[in-house]
């Protein structure tokens, strides 16, 4: 951290500032310029509150040199993190992992039909919501525990690992014992109690980007999970709120190379919630591979017209099979295996 003081700072104030930082264990590098004094603080400044330091009338400006996230940062962990789930390695430079399935688990027949079909077309992981974060309390809220049981049945039938969304910290133990990847939805990206509980497990966590979250806020949420002791975080860009109304959200494709530069964590794209429109899913999926995403999580339904949630953005089984063919053809160009 760099602190720039005003030229008018009395020597006694400067001395007591220096003393205070030294007693906090920092090494100081002080440069006296013509117009200001620059203090370089060397040490772990993460716990220092820059805004509070600015309350000091002798301080002109504060600049952070390092990002506030550490465990998620590529600076401290230059190699990519790759997370193994079933036969898939998410984050492995040579692989592109596709997770697919319905927005919500609706019935045994529905989840088994979709699971078998997406497996056949080449999905590595089955998705399906059992606890649904719906905007309206009158909308279908998910089959909850019964939904988890149906997902497990689909896993038994197909061998596909399962990813499903958690909403409450009270359910962490149940999810830990029953699912392969725990999804944190966009609406819960900053549910810090939930993140702290998930930090106590070692399950892979699929952390979706918040509806209006910056990349830094998103990585700070990953940091919560990692700081708790769980290094297995997979980031998921799922579109952000912008002024545009044509699409449900705006897919921030630039977030993928940005996250790859800032962090060693794997990052996947959700092309379904990004646009909210079924016919855009294919283009956005191909774009995701082109910008370097480690995979996708795609909504697929056997009968999108009658889906209880997110039918408009769901691919039907044939559309999904077609998408997988196109991704497969493109993957050879990018040296990725699917």
Residues that bind ligand PEP (CB under 6 A): 103, 129, 133, 185-187, 208, 238, 270, 273
**CB-wise, 103 or 288, nearer to Mn ion?**
103
**CB-wise, 186 or 280, nearer to ligand PEP?**
186
**CB-wise, 103 or 219, nearer to Mn ion?**
103
Residue 133 touches which member of Mn ion, ligand PEP, none, C-beta under 5-8 Å by kind: ligand PEP
**CB-wise, 62 or 225, nearer to ligand PEP?**
225
Residue 229 touches which member of ligand PEP, Mn ion, none, C-beta under 5-8 Å by kind: none
Least separation in angstroms between residue 95's CB and ligand PEP is 22
Residues 288-327 that bind Mn ion (CB under 5 A): 310
**CB-wise, 68 or 276, nearer to Mn ion?**
276
Residue 182's alpha-carbon distances to 36, 61, 194, in angstroms, are 51, 41, 11
Least separation in angstroms between residue 219's CB and ligand PEP is 17
Least separation in angstroms between residue 37's CB and ligand PEP is 47
Supply angle C-alpha 83, 85, 314, rounded to 5: 105
Report H helices in 122-270: 145-158, 172-178, 192-199, 215-227, 255-262
14 contact partners, CB below 8 Å, separation of at least 6: 5, 37, 58
C-beta atoms surrounding 42 within 10 Å: 12
Least separation in angstroms between residue 249's CB and ligand PEP is 8
Asked if 74 and 261 touch (Cβ cutoff 8 Å), the reply is: yes
Residue 316 touches which member of Mn ion, ligand PEP, none, C-beta under 5-8 Å by kind: none
Residue 264 touches which member of ligand PEP, Mn ion, none, C-beta under 5-8 Å by kind: none
Site membership for Mn ion, residue 103 (CB under 5 A): yes
Q: Is 303 exposed, middle or buried (0-12, 13-18, 19+ CB in 10 A)?
A: middle
Least separation in angstroms between residue 184's CB and Mn ion is 14
Q: Which residue has the tokens 């099979």?
A: 321
**CB-wise, 62 or 118, nearer to ligand PEP?**
118
Least separation in angstroms between residue 100's CB and Mn ion is 12
> How far apart are alpha carbons 241 and 249 in whole angstroms?
5
Least separation in angstroms between residue 31's CB and Mn ion is 53
Residue 186 touches which member of ligand PEP, Mn ion, none, C-beta under 5-8 Å by kind: ligand PEP
In this structure, what token pair is assigned to residue 92?
């492995």
**CB-wise, 59 or 296, nearer to ligand PEP?**
296
Report H helices in 137-247: 145-158, 172-178, 192-199, 215-227
Residues 195-214 that bind Mn ion (CB under 5 A): none
Asked if 93 and 102 touch (Cβ cutoff 8 Å), the reply is: no
Buried b (16+ CB within 10 A) or exposed e, 59-83: bbebeeeebebebbbbeeeeeebbb
Residues of this chain that interact with Mn ion (CB under 5 A) are: 103, 310
């Amino acid at each position: 951290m760099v602190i720039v003081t005003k030229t008018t700072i009395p020597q006694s104030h400067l001395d007591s500032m220096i003393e205070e930082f030294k007693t906090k264990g920092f090494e100081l590098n002080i440069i006296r310029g013509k117009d200001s004094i620059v203090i370089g603080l060397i040490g772990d400044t993460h716990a220092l509150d820059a805004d509070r330091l600015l309350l000091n009338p002798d301080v002109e400006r504060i600049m952070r040199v390092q990002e506030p996230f550490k465990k998620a940062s590529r600076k401290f962990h230059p190699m990519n993190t790759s997370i193994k789930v079933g036969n898939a390695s998410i984050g492995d430079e040579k692989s592109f992992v596709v997770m697919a399935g319905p927005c919500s688990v609706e019935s045994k027949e529905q989840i088994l039909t979709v699971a078998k079909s997406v497996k056949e077309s080449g999905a590595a992981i089955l998705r399906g919501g059992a606890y649904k974060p719906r905007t309206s309390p009158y909308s279908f809220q998910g089959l909850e525990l019964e939904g988890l049981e149906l997902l497990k049945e689909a896993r038994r039938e197909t061998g596909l690992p399962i990813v499903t969304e958690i909403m409450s910290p009270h359910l962490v133990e149940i999810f830990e014992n029953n699912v392969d990847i725990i999804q944190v939805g966009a609406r819960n990206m900053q549910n810090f109690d939930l993140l702290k509980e998930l930090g106590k497990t070692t399950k892979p966590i699929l952390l979706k980007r918040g509806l209006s979250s910056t990349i830094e806020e998103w990585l700070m949420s990953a940091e919560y999970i990692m700081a708790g002791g769980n290094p297995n975080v997979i980031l998921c860009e799922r579109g952000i709120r912008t002024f545009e109304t044509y699409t449900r959200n705006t897919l921030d494709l630039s977030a993928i190379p940005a996250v790859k530069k800032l962090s060693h964590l794997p990052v996947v794209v959700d092309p379904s919630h990004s646009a909210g429109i079924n016919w855009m899913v294919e283009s956005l999926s191909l774009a995701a591979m082109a910008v370097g995403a480690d995979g996708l999580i795609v909504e697929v339904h056997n009968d999108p017209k009658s889906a209880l949630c997110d039918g408009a953005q769901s691919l039907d089984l044939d559309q999904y099979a077609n998408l997988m063919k196109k991704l497969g053809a493109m993957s050879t160009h990018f040296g990725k295996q699917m």
